Amino acid sequence: MLDVVQYLLGGFSGSLVGFSLGLFGGGGSILAVPLMVYLVGMPVAHVAIGTSALAVAANAGASLVSHARRGNVIWRCALMFSVAGIVGATLGSTVGKALDGQTLLVLFALVMVVVGFRMLKGRGQEGTPGALCTREKAPKVLAAGGVTGLFSGFFGIGGGFLIVPGLIASTGMPILNAIGSSLVAVTAFGLTTAASYAFSGLVDWPLAAVFIAGGIAGSAIGSMTAHRLSARKGALNTGFAILVFAVAAYVLWQSGRALIG
């Protein structure tokens, strides 16, 4: 059982995750898993992964509502990506539960580094306003969704930090549209992964509730900030990459300490 201070830290962590989801359309689980393990003090890595998946899915849903109201969601692309991703997430979560939790965290950090470099490389590209998922683009969008879902389920993450670059690469849409559209898939992936972990008894329900409550407030502020930053070329891409690098470094540092200890 966790104590009162840990639950308070869970609520604070949720607000940070919600802000990240609203601002970047992802990064929720990049923050949620390390925060649950290293700040809240969740002793079992697999429970931290399962709980964060549920909390991130709920917070992503709150952010999605805000972005949809601003017209940032391209629904056809988002739904195609999500359907393919759910299949991948189901397979990935099954494989992920069979591996050591510490190993998952290290692999998680290494994938983040690769994605961060890709976001920095494309920071000057503005995308095509009004980009649609046509029949010609469908195979590429479905393939990107399936691979992203696989990683999402494997690492127990909402997948936004992979979905945003995946949507940009497969459709050519601007990053603000990718952020809004990604939240459909983040919600779907997170619920799929959370269901798999919950079935195995790997979700802390009270902590998830506190985390979600904090995230609702953070997501509203994050989505408003994203709308303002979208006017500055490359600002969202650069901020996204910096977040990824910072948390990847922290996870690798903590994992290294655990191995040495």
Torsion sign over Cα 191, 193, 196, 202: negative
What value does the mean pLDDT take over residues 82-100? Answer: 82
Give the C-alpha distances (Å, rounded to integers) separating 127 from 10, 40, 132, 171, 176. 37, 39, 12, 9, 10
Q: pTM for the complete prediction?
A: 0.75
Q: Pick the more confident residue, 233 or 21.
A: 21
**Interval 138-184: pLDDT, tens:** 999 999 989 888 877 777 665 667 788 888 888 888 888 988 999 99
pLDDT at 20: 85
pLDDT at 139: 92
Least confident span in 1-5, 103-107, 202-206, 224-228: 103-107
| Rounded Cα distance, 114 and 218, in Å | 27
Maximum mean pLDDT: which of 9-13, 154-158, 226-230, 247-251 = 9-13
Domain map of the chain by residue range? 4-260
**Interval 35-73: pLDDT, tens:** 888 899 888 888 888 898 899 889 888 889 888 988 899
| Rounded Cα distance, 157 and 182, in Å | 13
Contact 246, 109 (CB under 8 A): no
Contact 44, 1 (CB under 8 A): no
Q: Please measure the distance between the N-terminal and C-terminal CA atoms of the chain and give it in whole angstroms.
A: 24
Helix axis angle for 160-171 and 75-96, nearest 10°, is 130
pLDDT tops 80 at residue 258:
no
What value does the mean pLDDT take over residues 179-194? Answer: 86
pLDDT at 196: 86
